[in-house]
């Protein structure tokens, strides 16, 4: 589709990234290579919550200057994890304020004595506001959970005889109208009902505000002249894959760059030189979503080798980036991957399970991906915050398509649309695009979930955020997820795909499933009439208590969840023949929320329990998703056969994927 929208986006994308992201610095995922080493700092850290009235005792006593154990009682805290559910102190579970983490690290001698080696501390996620010290020296500050940040600590660890360093991280989980997600602190001043100074954290999102070091913390090294960032966009021209690359280097202006693209067998298929260029791959293996092609999720490897001259002589750096060649485009009625219509049939997820909270966990991650493949799901939305980098990497490998969403959930108050909030939202989108721009699995950005987009300031706010995101990455469409009706939504004119959440016969018309089909049909027809854009049913579902059965169906029974889904599916089957391009169930699995009379130990809309066991609805969706997958594969095979002059109806088997 060279010369088409995808081609124009790809070229412009490389130019814009060169301007925008170079200013922010790179965020390449730390990988071992001949020139780089990484060391994970997972395990038990010392931990202490600041329970003082003003939550400032740690700063007043400068806890970062000495080991935490010398300043008061500490507890062991696993990293990564959420701190809320690990201990037995009820105060910690709902704690709001500053908590402190500490870890003593022994460094390899070569890291501390080689002055031409950079030593970098990387925090994968600290929710929400983090301050970092190394050996009592402040090295970093970051606002916003869910995304990584770094600090070059070379000078601190290479200036003395010590081979160890003490890392101290203070984290504050307080949410305000200007954070993302927003929140408010409510002080209860009636001392006849509440203790003096009593306050609570209020939020407008329906999941628990887990906090802590949620993602891996690690140290890694690079040479002092190093590859800082790589930006890749891809296109296809009559079977030839086009890989446009731009490479950013820090530490020297005198260097050479050699680039090679390797296939999955390690063979060189294209090569180039210089900081930017285009690699051409004849008869390229395209990256396809799994369930859509006989060879899905094909990944090439982009090898970048840097050679530079320093005062100590020649130095080199080496980095390998997985690359999937694919295109994404949107028409009035279709979402296209590699020029073929793509239908999202998948889930919304939360990084939430048992006492880990939102802490990254490999066994849980692999289990979830096995369940996705069992289910026949081809996509998910990162509701309602960016997931770990390792999740994105598995999506690339397994062919799971991702709608990558920012933490823009709970934007409901007028003050959350002011310039302070807008500026922070733009920064978050820069960090998200910078981190995830090279993942072929990411096919669309979502800037928010269920904002009050009918408020007057929302028009300028979302116009600005969406335009900024498109400028950062013109190669992907941009959306946000709405629950406002089509006549009132002031942000919808600026999105490429309409994503709508609705819970008919759940949050209203309780128990009356006979109204679902007419209400859902009306919803789709009104949105398409106004905007003439493809539509995704981005959320729908019903709370269900596993093992609770009622016939005739009653709310919270497994039968009610199944019947409600079937009513939605009847309409979706009609409209996916027209302009509906996706359906994402809410939710993949049950998850924890704040305590309230509405929620019995969390949100129960999962088709799996929080322990990843299936409810009846999981089997219903499995049959549906595999049926859609079979139809999609048969349709694509038929198109291919006709192009070759063969009739697909002579095939002995039309079942391209077994549900066994």
pLDDT at residue 555 greater than cutoff 60: yes
CA pair distance 84, 650, nearest whole angstrom:
60
pLDDT at residue 197 greater than cutoff 90: no
pLDDT-based confidence at residue 651 (cuts at 50, 70, 90):
very low
* Nearest C-alpha neighbor of 561 from the set 627, 612, 511: 511
- At 302 the pLDDT is 98
Helix (H, G, I), strand (E, B) or coil at 431: helix
- At 234 the pLDDT is 97
pLDDT-based confidence at residue 310 (cuts at 50, 70, 90):
confident
- At 636 the pLDDT is 60
pLDDT at residue 558 greater than cutoff 60: yes
3-class secondary structure for 440-489? CCEEEEEEEECCCCCCCHHHHHHHHHHHHHHHHCCCCCEEEEECCCCCCC
pLDDT-based confidence at residue 340 (cuts at 50, 70, 90):
very high
- At 115 the pLDDT is 85
Active-site residue flag, 450: yes
- At 105 the pLDDT is 95
Whole-number percent of the chain with pLDDT over 70: 91
pLDDT at residue 357 greater than cutoff 90: no
pLDDT at residue 79 greater than cutoff 50: yes
What does pLDDT average to over the chain?
90
- At 660 the pLDDT is 33
Edge-first strand order for the sheet with 149-152 is 38-40, 217-223, 117-123, 149-152
Domains defined along the chain, listed by start: 5-27+223-323 (2.60.40.10), 43-79+81-173+209-214 (2.60.120.260), 343-650 (3.20.20.80)
- At 635 the pLDDT is 61
CA dihedral 23, 149, 411, 581 (to 10 degrees): 80
- At 594 the pLDDT is 79
The DSSP code sequence of 7-40 is HHHHHHHHHHHHHHHHHH---PPP--BTTB-EEE
- At 3 the pLDDT is 35
pLDDT at residue 42 greater than cutoff 90: yes
Classify residue 660 as exposed, middle or buried by CB count within 10 Å of its CB (0-12, 13-18, 19+).
exposed
pLDDT-based confidence at residue 90 (cuts at 50, 70, 90):
confident
CA pair distance 186, 238, nearest whole angstrom:
60
- At 25 the pLDDT is 76
Q: Are 521 and 571 in contact (CB under 8 A)?
A: yes
- At 355 the pLDDT is 65
pLDDT at residue 18 greater than cutoff 90: no
* Interval 492-536: pLDDT, tens: 999 999 999 999 999 999 999 999 999 999 999 999 999 999 999
pLDDT at residue 639 greater than cutoff 70: no
Edge-first strand order for the sheet with 328-330 is 328-330, 335-337, 340-341
* Interval 412-446: pLDDT, tens: 999 999 999 999 999 999 999 999 999 999 999 99
CA pair distance 343, 336, nearest whole angstrom:
9
- At 23 the pLDDT is 36
- At 627 the pLDDT is 95
- At 313 the pLDDT is 78
CA pair distance 446, 319, nearest whole angstrom:
29
CA dihedral 558, 564, 567, 570 (to 10 degrees): -60
* Interval 226-256: pLDDT, tens: 999 999 999 999 999 999 999 999 999 899 9
- At 118 the pLDDT is 95
pLDDT at residue 144 greater than cutoff 70: yes
Q: Within 13 Å of residue 619, how many CA atoms lie on the same side as its CB?
A: 7
pLDDT at residue 4 greater than cutoff 80: no
- At 17 the pLDDT is 36
pLDDT at residue 14 greater than cutoff 50: no
* Interval 115-128: pLDDT, tens: 889 999 999 999 99
pLDDT-based confidence at residue 450 (cuts at 50, 70, 90):
very high
CA pair distance 499, 181, nearest whole angstrom:
19
Question: Could you tell me whether strands 478-482 and 498-501 are parallel, antiparallel, or unpaired per DSSP bridges?
Answer: parallel
Q: Which of 150, 430, 450, 558 is flagged as catalytic?
A: 450
3-class secondary structure for 171-188? EECCCCCCCCCCCEEEEC
- At 593 the pLDDT is 77
């Amino acid at each position: 589709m060279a010369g088409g929208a995808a081609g124009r986006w790809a070229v412009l994308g490389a130019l814009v990234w060169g301007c925008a992201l170079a200013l922010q610095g790179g965020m390449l995922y730390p990988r071992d290579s001949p020139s780089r080493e990484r060391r994970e700092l997972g395990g038990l850290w010392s931990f202490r919550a600041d329970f003082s009235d003003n939550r400032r005792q740690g700063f007043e006593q400068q806890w970062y200057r000495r080991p935490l154990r010398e300043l008061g009682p500490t507890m062991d805290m696993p990293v990564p994890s959420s701190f809320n559910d690990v201990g037995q102190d009820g105060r910690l579970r709902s704690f709001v304020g500053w908590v402190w983490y500490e870890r003593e690290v022994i460094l390899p001698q070569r890291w501390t004595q080689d002055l031409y080696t950079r030593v970098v501390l990387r925090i994968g996620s600290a929710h929400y506001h983090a301050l970092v010290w190394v050996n009592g020296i402040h090295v970093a500050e970051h606002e916003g959970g869910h995304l990584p940040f770094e600090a070059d600590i070379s000078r601190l660890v290479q200036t003395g005889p010590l081979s160890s360093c003490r890392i101290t991280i203070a984290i504050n989980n307080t949410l305000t109208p200007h954070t993302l997600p927003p929140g408010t602190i409510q002080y209860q001043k009636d001392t006849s009902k509440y203790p003096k100074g009593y306050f609570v954290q209020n939020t407008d999102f329906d999941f628990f505000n887990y906090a802590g070091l949620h993602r891996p913390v690690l140290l890694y090294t690079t040479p002092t002249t190093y590859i800082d960032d790589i930006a890749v966009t891809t296109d296809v021209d009559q079977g030839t894959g086009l890989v446009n690359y731009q490479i950013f280097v820090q530490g020297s202006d005198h260097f050479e760059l050699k680039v090679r693209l390797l296939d999955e067998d390690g063979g060189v298929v294209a090569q180039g030189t210089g900081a930017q260029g285009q690699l051409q791959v004849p008869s390229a293996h395209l990256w396809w979503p799994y369930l859509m092609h006989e060879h899905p999720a094909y990944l090439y490897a982009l090898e970048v080798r840097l050679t530079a001259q320093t005062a100590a002589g020649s130095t080199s750096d080496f980095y390998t980036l997985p690359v999937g060649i694919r295109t994404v485009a949107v028409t009035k009625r279709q979402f296209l991957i590699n020029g073929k219509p793509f239908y999202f049939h998948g889930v919304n997820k939360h990084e939430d399970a048992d006492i880990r909270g939102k802490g990254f966990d490999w066994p849980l991650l692999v289990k979830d991906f096995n369940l996705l493949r069992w289910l026949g799901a081809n996509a998910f939305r990162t509701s309602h915050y960016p997931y770990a980098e390792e999740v994105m990497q598995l999506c690339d490998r397994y062919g799971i398509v991702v709608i990558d969403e920012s933490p823009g959930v709970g934007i409901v108050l007028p003050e959350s649309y002011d310039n302070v909030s807008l500026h922070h939202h733009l920064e978050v989108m820069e960090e998200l695009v910078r981190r995830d721009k090279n993942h072929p699995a990411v096919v669309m950005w979502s800037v928010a979930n269920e904002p009050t987009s009918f408020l007057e300031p929302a028009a300028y706010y979302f116009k600005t955020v969406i335009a900024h995101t498109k400028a950062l990455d013109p190669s992907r469409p941009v959306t946000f997820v709405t629950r406002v009706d089509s006549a009132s939504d002031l942000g919808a004119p600026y999105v490429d795909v309409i994503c709508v959440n609705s819970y008919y016969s759940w949050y209203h018309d309780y128990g009356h499933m006979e109204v679902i089909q007419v209400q859902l049909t009306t919803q789709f027809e009104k949105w398409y009439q106004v905007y003439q854009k493809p539509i995704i049913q981005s959320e729908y579902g019903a709370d269900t208590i596993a093992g609770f059965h009622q016939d005739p169906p009653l709310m919270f029974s497994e039968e009610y969840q199944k019947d409600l889904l079937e009513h939605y599916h009847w309409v979706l089957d009609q409209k996916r023949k027209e302009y509906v391009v996706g359906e994402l169930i809410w939710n993949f699995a049950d998850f924890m929320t704040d305590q309230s009379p509405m929620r019995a130990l969390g949100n129960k809309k999962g088709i799996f329990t929080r322990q990843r066991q299936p409810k009846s609805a999981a089997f219903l969706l499995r049959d549906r998703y595999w049926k859609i997958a079979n139809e999609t594969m048969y349709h694509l095979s038929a198109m291919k056969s006709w192009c070759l002059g063969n009739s697909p109806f002579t095939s002995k088997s039309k079942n391209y994927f077994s549900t066994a």
